[in-house]
Amino acid sequence: MSEIKNSLGLENVGKIKRNVSIDQLIKDAVENEGAKISSEGALMIDTGIFTGRSPKDKYFVNQDPSNKYISWGNVNKPIDKKIYEDLRAVSLKQLNGKDLYVTDVFSGSSPSSRKSIRIITEIAWQSHFVQNMFIMPTEEELENFVPDFTMYNACKTTNPNWEEQGLNSEVYVAFDVEANEAVIGGTWYAGEIKKGIFSMMNYWLPLDGKMAMHCSANVGKDGDTALFFGLSGTGKTTLSTDPHRALIGDDEHGWDDDGVFNFEGGCYAKVINLDPKSEPEIYAAIKKGAILENVVADENGVVDYNDGSKTENTRVSYPINHIDNIQPNSMAGHPTNIIFLSADAFGVLPPVSKLTNEQAMYYFLSGYTAKVAGTERGITEPVATFSACFGEAFLPLHPTDYAKLLGQKIKEHNVNVYLVNTGWTGGAYGVGHRMSIKNTRACINGILDGNINDSEFETIPFFNLSVPKTLAGVDTEVLNPRNTWSDKSQYDESAKKLASMYVENFKKYLTDDSDFDFTAAGPQI
Ligand code: ATP
Ligand code: MN
């Protein structure tokens, strides 16, 4: 322990609580942090002011030559080393003299690709979260543990100098990739830890020729691996949790020469309006060892999953072994199928379509979904989001770096790629309704069991997407979205509108690199 103490860079350290037991963490969280236990036995915590990530407060040290690969812009904002040193000093001042949870974990289930990560925090429930979401070393691995990367979470402090420093706010999530270190202040939201390390994996792996992906993954009985890419709320967690297929992971994966592997050791599911009938596995995962975030419960700890009064982003984190059907070691072979999930609130995209390799690149770089704007006072217009590679917020390198890697792998392993709309059908938000999970699952089953290969396909206007005319288990009328709209001309108008948003967004990828221009594979208006 004294070795760890000395390595933390703090003048004074209280007690070091390294990889302490979940029982102890629960006890500490209840005694010191106002946590409660739900009627299912899960730890219930509130994350404070922030119930989601603060992407505008994320920075990388701009220090040549180490950071020459980073794609600078709104997602990856540069700060001088001097400012990082200030943020570091603010963080260490907060942690100085405190009892600290030091949690040593792996990111990456593949021993040849994993990274050793040390997370330092004052907060017991954050250490519990880290133990749920990352991969826990064995005792032997812990003995020889040398961190590749260290993250100081000083969430109780804020940065007083942000204005002079020209930063966004008093909150900071700052990375120094050369020093292999990050500091967090001003936000307690533990998703910053999860997605912060994900960002680092997205930095390290591609530079090593390995793909890093914001996707879920599962594998069938015959060893056929499937990946599900998608932005938040599109169904990565919901749809990869399938009793008939072994879960590899629900959010972050790598793809190296041996196949697909999870970065994480746990899942992080949305629980707003959680319905035990349509998502029984996730519901059953809420028990001791799970952490419920920002949910509302009565005095007996009975949670009202329909209550979004603290946030709509209520979540549960649980170790992956809370799910029955999981893939041992969270690794599997090269994918057979890749599915891009878009929750299209315009109700334009078909529930399932098969993509050519060129379309796969186009839709991957576009990274589309649509959010439903505030549901108050009759605001019904959906808002389109385009986030490259279905996860631009977590990509330190340029999106085309990831697309090129994915494209090579798709070709090399002859992978089928599909686009699945988990959003609206029968009209846009306000008129139509969200596709049922049952129907979406039926579309996905058709892909995974290969039935879709027996279908006859037709092409839909503007998007030139190839849509099956029939598919076992799915109502034939819903397959072509135009059929589900009562007003066909309105469909055409909306389709044209969405198509032009795609076209507008894709202009940034018009490159001189004629081998890597996929404009022609996109919508044409
Ligand atoms: P994140 O990246 O934020 O973890 P995610 O892609 O994992 O997001 P999910 O947690 O799976 O998203 O969220 C999908 C939400 O949408 C769930 O709350 C689910 O119940 C709901 N839902 C409703 N209809 C569908 C559908 N047809 N397919 C998938 N999910 C649906
Ligand atoms: Mn998820």
Contact status, residue 100 vs residue 123, Cβ threshold 8 Å: no
* pLDDT 10s digits, 14-57: 999 999 999 999 999 999 999 999 999 999 999 999 999 999 99
| 237 assigned to active site | yes
Give the alpha-carbon dihedral of 362, 200, 227, 462, to 10 degrees.
-20
Among 57, 251, 256, 344, the active-site one is 251
Residue-wise DSSP of 473-504: TB-HHHHSHHHH-S-HHHHHHHHHHHHHHHHH
Distances in whole angstroms, Cα of residue 25 to Cα of each of 105, 156, 266, 289, 377: 16, 18, 17, 10, 43
Tell me the CA–centroid distance for residue 518 and ligand 2, in Å: 28
* pLDDT 10s digits, 247-297: 999 999 999 999 999 999 999 999 999 999 999 999 999 999 999 999 999
Contact status, residue 416 vs residue 409, Cβ threshold 8 Å: no
| 195 assigned to active site | yes
What pLDDT was estimated at residue 383?
92
Tell me the CA–centroid distance for residue 322 and ligand 1, in Å: 19
* pLDDT 10s digits, 374-392: 555 555 678 999 999 999 9
CB burial of residue 358 (10 Å; 0-12, 13-18, 19+): middle
What is the pLDDT averaged over residues 329-350?
98
Contact status, residue 158 vs residue 171, Cβ threshold 8 Å: yes
- Position in ligand 1 atom list of the atom nearest CA 214: 2
- Best substitution site from 51, 53, 216, 238 to test ligand 1's pocket, by max atoms within 8 Å of Cβ? 238
Contact status, residue 314 vs residue 308, Cβ threshold 8 Å: yes
Contact status, residue 455 vs residue 433, Cβ threshold 8 Å: no
- Best substitution site from 234, 272, 295, 368 to test ligand 1's pocket, by max atoms within 8 Å of Cβ? 234
Distances in whole angstroms, Cα of residue 125 to Cα of each of 28, 186, 197, 307, 468: 8, 16, 18, 22, 47
Tell me the CA–centroid distance for residue 239 and ligand 2, in Å: 9
Q: Provide the CA 42 distance to its chain's centre, in angstroms.
A: 22
Q: Which amino acid is at 7?
A: S
463 pLDDT above the threshold of 60: yes
CA pseudo-torsion sign 371, 214, 64, 209: negative
- Respond yes or no on whether the N-terminal peptide bond of residue 280 is cis (omega within 30° of 0): no
Tell me the CA–centroid distance for residue 237 and ligand 1, in Å: 6
| 121 assigned to active site | no
How far, in Å, CA of 245 to CA of 34, rounded? 38
Could you count the other beta carbons within 10 Å of the beta carbon of residue 325?
Answer: 14
Among 232, 238, 240, 455, the active-site one is 232
Tell me the CA–centroid distance for residue 230 and ligand 1, in Å: 10
CB-defined site of ligand 1, < 6 Å: 230, 232-239, 251, 268-270, 279, 422, 434-437, 440
Ligand nearest to the CA of residue 236, numbered in listed order:
1
- Position in ligand 1 atom list of the atom nearest CA 238: 11
* pLDDT bracket for residue 9 (50, 70, 90): confident
Q: Supply the residue whose CA is at minimum distance from atom 18 of ligand 1.
A: 270
What pTM does this model have?
Answer: 0.97
What pLDDT was estimated at residue 373?
66
Q: Which two tokens stand for residue 331?
A: 């690794």
What is the pLDDT averaged over residues 190-217?
98
Tell me the CA–centroid distance for residue 343 and ligand 1, in Å: 9
CB atoms within 5 A of ion ligand 2 belong to 236-237, 251
Distances in whole angstroms, Cα of residue 76 to Cα of each of 17, 56, 377, 398, 431: 33, 9, 35, 10, 38
Residue-wise DSSP of 286-350: -SBTBEEES--B-TT--B-TT--SS-S--EEEEEGGGSSSB-GGGEE-SEEEEEEEE--TTS-S-
| 232 assigned to active site | yes
- Best substitution site from 51, 214, 237, 274 to test ligand 1's pocket, by max atoms within 8 Å of Cβ? 237
* pLDDT 10s digits, 401-456: 999 999 999 999 999 999 999 999 999 988 999 999 999 999 999 999 999 999 99
